[in-house]
């Protein structure tokens, strides 16, 4: 695996972690905020129903009061319904969006306090409490969370797709960025290969004078090393040339001396021949 690929993968993995954390927090905050809005709306609707019913403390609710009960507003855009139960848990009156199958299927007598009720087909958020000053009546308010849960699942899918797309873009960006970051190393490798083939230490890596990063420092150090090697190589060439020249001079001198000895031998031979000839003529 190349260094460029490793850098791209590391960059993508790091951004994936950051994206996963950010998207998870976004999802959780959105879900918690909406749940809190629904809870506040349920409590407000319950209080409004208590105020609307009214009546003297300790007295049972009269039918005119129950008949005047108005339909509750939607709790944070969720279909909402309310029930009024007597002390035995029997529904005395109800109002709201009972066209919603979840609210229509809810058994209000089973609700106590603020809680989630899971039914076939979805979830209901409900709040129940005894009517203050009443004779045991309980008011139950519930909101269907099916639409919200569906939208939450769609949001989760969208965030997941955004995360995957972000990771892909980050990996591609890391691949492109690493190419520029590793360009000095590629130039260093090419320069070293060219020197190895040509044995010429005069090549240099182009480095911007104003650059102060680690790769620029590596390039300057490599250029200094090349300059030192170039100087040593030139000194070696001059030394070899000088030694070769001196060697040729020494050979020439030895050749001259050899020629002198040969010439001297020839002269001595000629003199000896002349002397011998003189002795023969004048015994």
Res 280 pLDDT > 60: no
pLDDT at 64 > cutoff 50: no
Question: What is the average per-residue pLDDT within 87-100?
Answer: 85
Q: Is 36 exposed, middle or buried (0-12, 13-18, 19+ CB in 10 A)?
A: exposed
Residue 96 has pLDDT above 50, yes or no: yes
pTM for the model:
0.60
Q: What would the two tokens of residue 106 be?
A: 């809810």
* pLDDT interval class at 25 (50, 70, 90): very high
pLDDT for 29: 92
Give the model confidence (pLDDT) of 166-218 as tens digits: 888 888 877 887 777 777 777 778 877 877 777 777 777 777 777 777 777 87
- % residues pLDDT > 70 (the chain): 81
Write out the H or E segment, with its range, that includes residue 276. Answer: helix 214-281
Per the model's pLDDT, the better-predicted residue between 133 and 55 turns out to be 133
**Does position 66 have pLDDT exceeding 60, yes or no?**
no
Q: Helix axis angle, 146-181 relative to 183-198, nearest 10°?
A: 30
Which has the closest alpha carbon to 95: 104, 108, 82, 105? Answer: 82
Higher pLDDT, 226 or 23: 23
Whole-angstrom distance, CA of residue 79 vs CA of residue 125? 11
The lowest-confidence range among 15-19, 52-56, 159-163, 251-255 is 52-56
Residue 184 burial class via C-beta count within 10 angstroms: exposed 0-12, middle 13-18, buried 19 and up: buried
pLDDT, position 63 = 46
Model confidence at 279, pLDDT cuts 50, 70, 90, reads low
Per-residue pLDDT averaged across 4-20, rounded? 81
162 compared with 63, residue with greater pLDDT: 162
Distance, in Å, from the CA atom of 57 to the CA atom of 45, rounded to the nearest integer, reads 20
What is the mean predicted confidence (pLDDT) over 23-51?
89
């Amino acid at each position: 695996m190349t260094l460029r690929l490793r850098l791209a993968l590391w960059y993508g993995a790091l951004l994936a972690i950051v994206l996963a954390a950010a998207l998870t927090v976004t999802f959780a905050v959105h879900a918690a905020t909406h749940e809190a809005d629904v809870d506040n709306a349920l409590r407000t609707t319950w209080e409004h129903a208590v105020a609307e019913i009214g009546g003297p403390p300790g007295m049972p609710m009269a039918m005119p009061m129950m008949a005047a009960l108005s339909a509750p507003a939607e709790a944070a855009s969720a279909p909402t319904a309310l029930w009024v139960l007597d002390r035995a848990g029997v529904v005395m009156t109800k109002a709201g969006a009972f066209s919603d199958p979840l609210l229509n299927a809810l058994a209000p007598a089973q609700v106590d306090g603020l809680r989630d009720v899971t039914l076939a087909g979805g979830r209901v958020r409900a709040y129940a409490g005894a009517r203050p000053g009443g004779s045991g009546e309980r008011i139950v308010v519930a909101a269907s969370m099916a639409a919200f849960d569906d939208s939450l699942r769609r949001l989760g899918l969208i965030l997941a797709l955004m995360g995957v797309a972000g990771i892909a873009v980050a990996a591609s960006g890391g691949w492109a960025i690493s190419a520029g970051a590793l360009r000095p190393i590629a130039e260093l490798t090419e320069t070293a290969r060219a020197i190895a083939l040509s044995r010429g230490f005069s090549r240099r890596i182009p480095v911007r004078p104003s650059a102060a990063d680690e790769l620029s420092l590596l390039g300057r150090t490599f250029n200094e090393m090349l300059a030192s090697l170039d100087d040593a190589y030139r000194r070696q060439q001059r030394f070899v040339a000088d030694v070769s020249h001196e060697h040729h001079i020494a050979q020439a001198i030895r050749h001259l001396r050899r020629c002198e000895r040969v010439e001297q031998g020839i002269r001595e031979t000629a003199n000896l021949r002349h002397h011998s000839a003189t002795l023969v003529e004048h015994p």
